[in-house]
């Protein structure tokens, strides 16, 4: 067993052809991602806190009316029509961006592993994922914070050992389980990205 195959780590749910993103399953699966980020170490607490904060924004919106807000789509429609809150607009957008960063990290990690790379440092992978996803949305101060955080990126062997729940010699199984995990994570992120773009909410505004 690895982190990705644990019973309490829920996989994401692939949206149907209608593009509806179910709120409850999104929240549940996203909490598993927070645990995955914890494996990077205490230095990545700002990243973990950011993802947690965005999950809580969506949770707060959902709690307002669970029957009406079964989907992320419904929450966004409510906020655009009624100008009630911006919890789903902001929380969901930044959660999607955080998930995309982690997806890109895993894609690069898997690629290097499959190519037989012996490089143990993962700093270049973290930085490449950041460059491809979050960097354009961050101002100078946030970029500096991330630069400092990335310096404490764990070595690949240590990270994979944590993902193997401390069991030696399970690197291949971790990678396989990670690939399966991404089979649902990736289309979910794509659906969220499409949703926010269609509603004009995914801008290049910096924070």
Structural domains in the chain plus CATH codes = 15-196 (1.10.3520.10)
* Block residue for tokens 């807000």: 69
Contact 75, 199 (CB under 8 A): no
Residue whose tokens read 């949206």: 15
Give Dmax over CA atoms of the chain in angstroms: 54
- Mean pLDDT, consecutive 10-residue stretches, the chain (207 aa), reads 93 95 97 91 92 98 98 97 94 97 98 97 97 96 93 96 97 98 97 97 91
Is 110 in contact with 175 (CB distance < 8 Å)?
yes
For residue 204, what pLDDT is reported? 86
Q: Say whether pTM exceeds 0.85.
A: yes
What is the number of other CB atoms lying within 10 angstroms of the CB of residue 59?
16
Task: Enter the DSSP assignment of 22.
Answer: B
pLDDT at 18: 94
The predicted structure's pLDDT at residue 84 = 85
State the Cα–Cα distance between residues 201 and 36, nearest whole angstrom.
27
21 φ/ψ angles, rounded to the nearest 5 degrees: -105, 110
Tokens of 26: 């999104």
Is residue 73 within 8 A of residue 166, CB to CB? The reply is no
Return the DSSP state at 116.
Answer: T
Q: What is the pLDDT of residue 75?
A: 98
């Amino acid at each position: 067993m690895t982190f990705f195959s644990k019973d309490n780590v829920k996989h994401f749910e692939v949206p149907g052809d209608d593009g509806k993103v179910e709120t409850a399953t999104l929240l549940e699966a996203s909490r598993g991602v927070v645990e995955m980020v914890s494996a990077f170490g205490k230095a990545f607490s700002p990243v973990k806190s950011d993802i947690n904060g965005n999950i809580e924004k969506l949770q707060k919106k959902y709690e307002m009316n669970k029957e009406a807000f079964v989907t992320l789509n419904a929450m966004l429609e409510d906020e655009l029509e009624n100008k009630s809150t911006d919890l789903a607009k902001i929380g969901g957008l930044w959660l999607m961006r955080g998930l995309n960063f982690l997806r890109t990290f895993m894609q690069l990690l898997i690629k290097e592993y499959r190519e037989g790379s012996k490089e143990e440092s993962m700093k270049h992978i973290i930085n490449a994922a950041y460059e491809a996803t979050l960097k354009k949305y961050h101002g100078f101060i946030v970029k500096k914070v991330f630069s400092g955080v990335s310096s404490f990126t764990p070595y690949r062997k240590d990270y994979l050992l944590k993902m193997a729940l401390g069991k030696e010699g399970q690197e291949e199984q971790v990678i396989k389980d990670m690939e399966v995990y991404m089979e649902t994570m990736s289309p979910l992120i794509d659906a969220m990205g499409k949703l926010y773009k269609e509603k004009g909410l995914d801008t290049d505004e910096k924070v």
